[in-house]
Amino acid sequence: MKNSFINFDEFAKYSKPGPRYTSYPTALEFSEEFSYQSYINELKNQSDQTPLSLYFHFPFCRSACYFCGCNVIYTSKKDKMDRYIDYLEKELEILSKLVNTKRVVTQMHFGGGTPTFYDAKELERIIKAIKSHFKNFSKDAEISCEIDPRFLNEDQVKIFVENGFNRVSFGVQDFNDLVQTEIHRIQPFETTQNAVNLVRKYGIKSVNMDLIYGLPYQNLDSFKNTLELSLKLNTDRYAIFNYAHVPWIKKSMRKFDEATLPTPKVKLEILKFTHDFLTQNGYKMIGMDHYAKPEDELFKALKNGSLHRNFQGYTTKSGANLIGVGLTSIGEGQRHYAQNFKDLNEYENAIDNNKLPFCKGILLKDEDILRKAVIMGLMSNFYLDISRIEDKFNVNFKEHFRHSLEKLKEYDNFVNVSEKCIEITQTGTLLIRNIAMCFDEYMKENEKRFSKTV
């Protein structure tokens, strides 16, 4: 495949630190200024007509994957894991007194960590606890779980299917032996293949695979092989992430020799090949980092305007209030974001005091809500209907965003701006984070806290 429309040497100059915009404002703006009582007021004031999306975080992993940026606790102690279930049950009990649990649940997601580090009986206990409070799941609810293929068996899959789980996401990252050794995640192709076959056997129809480019020792040829192997599994979706190298935040990343990381030019070559390879094999690009088959719900959501971006990436259910349960979980309402404690002792202490384990968040200003609509619109659709924003927020777009549009001129070759819309070109989609940054009121020059955009 030819890299026909990209001058990689020139394009790589746009690599700079920037957010992934799973929220706006980003989590770095969360603070304790948004108080516990303010959060409780936001929960209590939510409309009974607004559906719910539930996220449950399971932080435990047996060992470290050195590339991982998630909030994880490494352990093999069953008592600590069982204790966590006790506290999840207590947290649900407190939550049920503050939120109308009769509201329709349109989405539930188990993330981690490694949710399938819990065995079938433990998973069943967790699900029963959830459904003892939240009983009104919609018929088309998306119920999903992140799965490490190294920790999955038939009994677990049976429990998922019996309880309505209809989507799973497999963490793969790369099939190359050298890369797997370096990132401390040995996962042969056959392990992933067996896991995919198992969930298919029990009728789970939506299967996602996570891959990461930018890892140590990756190059274009090695990633081509990973893609070719992955295609044999016939998954419905891909999430193709740019490795976020943030060793100042995650100590495990300091184990990498930075000289082994692919350059921005090589990463762009990998990304371009990935796009061509997947689209030529029947997948459609969704947002910044997802691909889906045309019959997949994610692609349908893009077409009907219900595609939504949050901390789990792109989802099919917009308009719901997200409630995060468990250590470090993040929730999202119409005017707020809220995050739970990251420290296990603080998490337990809050619940022992009959309080939700909330630690910080942000109450959105009117300007935040406006810019969130712009940034998330661009991130989800690579397109923004200017007149729609003007009508909804009663603003003159060109006047209100004149400074942002001035910054956008740096990307003139990748963006078409008219009186009616902003449209990102095919090449420009590779720079969508940079383009969205032009509308970010919190972004500072030479921002160092984020991973590189390219």
CA 129 to mean position of chain CA atoms: 25
* Residue 438, marked binder: no
Of 242, 382, 371, give the one whose Cα is nearest residue 302.
382
* Residue 210, marked binder: yes
What's the farthest any 2 CA atoms get from each other in the chain?
61
Q: At CB < 8 A and 24+ separation, what contacts does 118-124 make?
A: 118/58, 118/81, 118/85, 119/155, 119/156, 120/153, 120/155, 120/156, 120/158, 120/159, 122/81, 122/82, 122/85, 123/156, 123/159, 123/160, 124/159, 124/163
* Residue 55, marked binder: yes
* Residue 334, marked binder: no
* Residue 171, marked binder: no
Give, in order, the Cα–Cα distances in Å from 119 to each of 114, 123, 148, 159, 327: 11, 6, 13, 10, 19
* Residue 377, marked binder: no
* Residue 61, marked binder: yes
Residue 365 to residue 370: CA distance in whole angstroms: 9
Helix (H) or strand (E) holding 250: none
* Residue 164, marked binder: no
* Residue 58, marked binder: no
Of 140, 138, 102, 143, give the one whose Cα is nearest residue 126.
143
- The amino acid at 338: A
What are residue 168's DSSP bridge partners?
145, 207
Tokens 């890299």 sit on residue: 3
- The beta strand positions in 198-296, using DSSP E, are 206-213, 237-242, 284-286, 290-292
3-state DSSP assignment of residue 420: coil
Binding residue numbers for S-adenosyl-L-methionine? 55, 67-69, 112-114, 146, 173, 185, 210, 244, 330
Binding-site residues sit at 55, 61, 65, 67-69, 112-114, 146, 173, 185, 210, 244, 330
Residue ranges of the binding site for [4Fe-4S] cluster: 61, 65, 68
